[in-house]
Every structure is written in structure tokens, then in C-alpha cells.
Structure 1
């Protein structure tokens, strides 16, 4: 079985090089950038329509959103829960009240998301207070990853290539795919004749974390936080 596609959802003003989202789309065959219209003057309905179209064309993908893109994903999954989305990685969501250009996206959703999700937050993000991001993760039922002092986790903050982002995406893929599917950086299937129980997953540093169900997984698992 092949890995699901990754749909990359940018925020306000897009994610031009050397932003990690641009780098990701340029270096991974299975990653597709969603072409959201008018990134400097975003319209919620137009952006939702485009993202829905991409999801329908590429069902069971993993969504990776940054800033306003993360907000868009949370809003869409909360309002249209039957969309075929496998999981979501939500990086540095933006507080939409901070700019008139994105105020049309208010209010931020606070309902539980219908898919496994990880929210990555920075302690000095100018677009959202750290505590607010942590509260949103609880509301959305997402794992919470503390990225430390990382600004808005964008090119201006030095993110550029961000391999840990891919590790977080791969971890989401590994817990939602069939046990015999190989995910880069994670154990492959066990040899025939051995137990078919899924092994614990490890990141490149050898940190172990479980693969709980979407309903029972911990909401602030420390081993996930150590991935960042």
C-alpha cells in the first residue's frame, strides 16, 4: 500500500520559498500544494471551495496547514466532518482577530475534529498566544507539540527545510494506515510467523510512543512533544 498524499494548505500571502511548505511540495512527490485563490486577500468561501475540491480529488490525504491554512482546515473539518481526510497537521494557527485581512475567518472553531490531528505551536508566535494554541488543541482533540521559541514557524523564523514536520506527518500516517504499510523512518511489517501486533513507533532519535485509536489517544502526549 502506498502512503496517502499530503495536501499542503498555505496561509495569508502564501508560502513562497524558502518556506518549509514550499520546500516540502518541491521535494516530495506525494505532496501537493493547494492553490488557494488570492492569498493576499483571502475569502473564506473561495478557500473552502478550493480545499474541498482538492480533498474530493485526493481522498484520504493528510492535510498540512500553516497559519490561516491551519484555521481553514479546522473550520472545514468541523463543519463538513464527512470529508474523506485521514489526518491533519496544524502548524502555528493564526488568531484571526489580529488582522482585518483575515477577520472574515472569525470565529475560530472550538469543536472536536473528526480525524487524528497534531497542533504545533511556538512560545513566541506573534500570531497566537501559546496558551491560546494549547487551549485550541484541547478543543480540537489534537495532540499538542511545543516547538519552543520558533516565531511563526515560517521562513522569517528560519523554517526553511523543517524535517521534523515530515516526521510528525509520518507519525500521523503510521497510526492511521494498515499495520503492514511501511512509513519512512518507522518499522516495517514483522516477518511471517511472528506476531501481527503492530510494533511501537519510533522517531529517528529512537523515542517510543504508542499508536492509540483516534478516540483514545492521549491529548498531550509528551513523547509526541519531544518529536518537535
Structure 2
């Protein structure tokens, strides 16, 4: 799979330079799906941008989503005509946008699409993620039909988690990309 067909889907406020998604982009040439407004995300706008990007891809793609990017993936998958182009999705630390505190700062993203995804997925969750309880992330994984990976106590699985280039996560990505 060409690096440009690995689509990075950051969450709210984008992924900073030390985030594993940004490191993968710099080191591997993966393609970040740029959103028009990272600070005030609109589900319709973000979904339309993902739809365009997948439609324009010159072959199969793998989605690599973090936080709100996971919620975007589930919503987009429920509405797209291009799901067949997705070889798989690595979903990492979804944010629970149905929680009142998050719904207030990121309005318009509830309800979370809970249908089984039409492509293979791996969901990596943390036991102490401040944006999604462990029980909730397990439930999302089950609803989405994703293979669930308990990643221990790693916070929001972002730059603050000290993952560097996150070799383990890249291994799961490669399994999805190759259909293993």
C-alpha cells in the first residue's frame, strides 16, 4: 500500500508535532486529512472532507483515526458510498462526545454512530483515558465490530503518553493494510 493511501484522521484541535500521527506523517509520508476548522469541528464538514479524500484515492485506503477521528470514522462509514475502498481502520482512543462535558465543547457530534463497521477495524483503548471511560471504549469496540486492544493505562494515547513513533501501533496498522 502506498503511504499516501494511509489516511490520518486527527481529532479535535488536530495532532501536534509530537503526536504519533504527526510523527508517522513525517517519517512515513502518510496523508493527513486536513479539516477546514480544527477548533470548531462540524460533523457534516468533516465527513464530507473524508468522503472526498477516500473517493479521490487511487486505490484502497487504511484509516488511522485518533479521538474525534474515531467518531468521524463511524459516522462516515454509516453514510458513505465508498466503504469498499477501505481495507481497514485503526481506531485509537475515541472521545465520548455523548458525555455532557464533551458535548458542550464539541457540539453536534452526538449521537455516536454505533453500527458495525463495513470494514475490519482495530480499536485501541486505554484504562485511564480522560475523554472516554474504559467501559465505554469497550462498548464502542463491540458495537463497531472492532478487535479491541486493552492498552493499559496510557491516558488519551497521544503525545503525552510518551509513545514516540509508536512502533506497536504501526504493527497493527500494517496488519490491517495487508489483511493479516
TM-score (norm 1): 0.73
Aligned equivalent of 2:175: 171
Contact 2:54 2:82 in 1 (8 A): no
* Residue 87 (structure 1) aligned with residue 88 (structure 2): yes
Distance 1:54 1:127, change over 3 A: same
- Structure showing greater Rg: 1
Question: RCO greater where, 1 or 2, for CA within 8 Å and sep 6 or more?
Answer: 2
Contact 1:124 1:149 in 2 (8 A): yes
Q: What's the CA shift for 1:53?
A: 1.0
CA displacement 1:38-74 (0-9 Å, x = unmatched): 1111111111111111111114100000000111011
RMSD: 1.4
Distance in 2 (alpha carbons) for counterparts of 1:75 and 1:170: 24
**Consecutive aligned runs of 4 or more in structure 1 exceeding 6 Å deviation:** none
How do residues 40-119 of structure 1 correspond to structure 2 at under 5 angstroms? 40-58=39-57, 59-80=59-80, 82-83=82-83, 84-96=85-97, 97=99, 98-99=101-102, 100-119=104-123
How do residues 98-177 of structure 1 correspond to structure 2 at under 5 angstroms? 98-99=101-102, 100-175=104-179
Specify every segment of 5 or more residues in structure 2 that has no aligned partner in the other structure, as ranges: none
Distance in 2 (alpha carbons) for counterparts of 1:105 and 1:159: 28
Contact 1:3 1:173 in 2 (8 A): no
Contact 1:16 1:22 in 2 (8 A): yes
Aligned equivalent of 1:12: 12
User: How many pairs does the alignment contain?
Assistant: 174
Specify every segment of 5 or more residues in structure 1 that has no aligned partner in the other structure, as ranges: 176-210, 212-228
Aligned equivalent of 2:22: 22
SS of 1:22's partner is: helix
Q: Which has the higher helix share?
A: 2
